[in-house]
C-alpha cells in the first residue's frame, strides 16, 4: 500500500545525540488549524517529552531488551517519523499489517536493525489516528494535544523495546 500524505516538514538538524522527528499529515485529513498546530507543537515537544520519560527511567530496573540501543550516546542522531491520520487510514494499515480490521489509536513500526553499527538510530514510524485520539482525550479528561503526546511517548518507549511497566515509571509527573 502506498502511503499518500502531505509533504512533511523538513526536520531541523540538531546537535549529536538529538532526536529528529519528521511529522506528516495524511492528505485525507481536513485542513484543521488544531491539527496543524499540534503538528507544529510536536516538532519540539516530542523531544522534550521523551527526554523526561528517559530521565525518569534512568536508575530504574527497566532496560531495553536490545542491548545494542541501551547506550544512546553512541548515536549522532535518533530518527523517528510520525504520521497523523484519520480512523479510516489507520484501519486500513491495521488490517494490512496486523490483520485486524478496525481503527486503533496508534500503530508503531520499528525500523531498527539489531547489530547494525551505524551512527544513526532509525527508530521507526508512529501513526496516530487523530479521531481516536480526540475521543480518548475526552474520555480520559485531558487535552487532545496531551493525548497525542502520551501516545507518542508510549510508542517511543515501545520502539526502544522497553517493557510495558516502564511506561508507568516514565509517566509519573509527565
Highest mean pLDDT among 1-15, 19-33, 112-126: 19-33
CATH of the domain at 85: 3.40.390.30
Query: Using one digit for the tens of pLDDT, what is the confidence trace for 77-107?
Result: 888 899 999 999 999 999 998 899 999 999 9
Q: What is the pTM of this model?
A: 0.77
What secondary structure does DSSP assign to 151-165, as a single string? HHHHHHHHHTT--HH
Q: Is residue 3 assigned to a domain? A: no
Q: Is residue 89 assigned to a domain? A: yes
Residue 71's pLDDT band, with cuts at 50, 70 and 90, is low
Domain count, the chain: 1
With contact defined as beta carbons under 8 Å apart, do 145 and 38 qualify? yes
| Listed residue (90, 60, 87) closest to 166, CA to CA | 60
Checking DSSP bridges between strand 77-85 and strand 18-25, what pairing results, if any?
parallel
Q: Is residue 11 assigned to a domain? A: no
Helices 130-140, 144-159: crossing angle, 10 deg rounding: 110
With contact defined as beta carbons under 8 Å apart, do 89 and 106 qualify? no
Q: Is residue 126 assigned to a domain? A: yes
Q: Is residue 4 assigned to a domain? A: no
Q: Please give the residue range of the domain that contains residue 34.
A: 18-171
Amino acid at each position: 500500500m502506498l502511503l499518500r500524505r502531505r509533504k512533511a516538514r523538513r526536520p531541523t538538524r540538531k546537535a549529536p545525540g538529538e532526536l529528529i522527528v519528521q511529522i506528516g499529515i495524511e492528505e485525507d485529513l481536513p485542513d484543521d488549524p488544531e491539527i496543524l498546530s499540534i503538528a507544529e507543537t510536536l516538532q519540539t515537544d516530542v523531544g522534550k517529552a521523551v527526554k523526561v520519560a528517559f530521565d525518569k527511567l534512568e536508575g530504574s530496573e527497566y532496560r531495553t531488551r536490545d542491548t545494542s540501543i541501551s547506550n544512546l550516546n553512541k548515536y549522532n542522531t535518533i530518527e523517528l517519523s510520525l504520521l497523523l491520520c484519520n480512523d479510516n487510514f489507520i484501519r486500513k494499515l491495521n488490517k494490512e499489517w496486523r490483520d485486524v480490521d478496525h481503527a486503533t489509536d496508534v500503530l508503531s513500526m520499528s525500523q531498527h536493525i539489531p547489530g547494525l553499527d551505524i551512527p544513526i538510530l532509525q527508530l521507526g514510524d508512529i501513526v496516530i489516528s487523530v479521531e481516536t485520539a480526540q475521543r480518548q482525550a475526552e474520555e480520559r479528561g485531558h487535552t487532545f494535544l496531551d493525548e497525542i503526546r502520551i501516545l507518542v511517548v508510549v510508542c517511543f518507549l515501545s520502539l526502544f523495546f522497553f517493557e510495558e511497566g516502564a511506561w508507568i515509571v516514565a509517566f509519573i509527573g509527565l
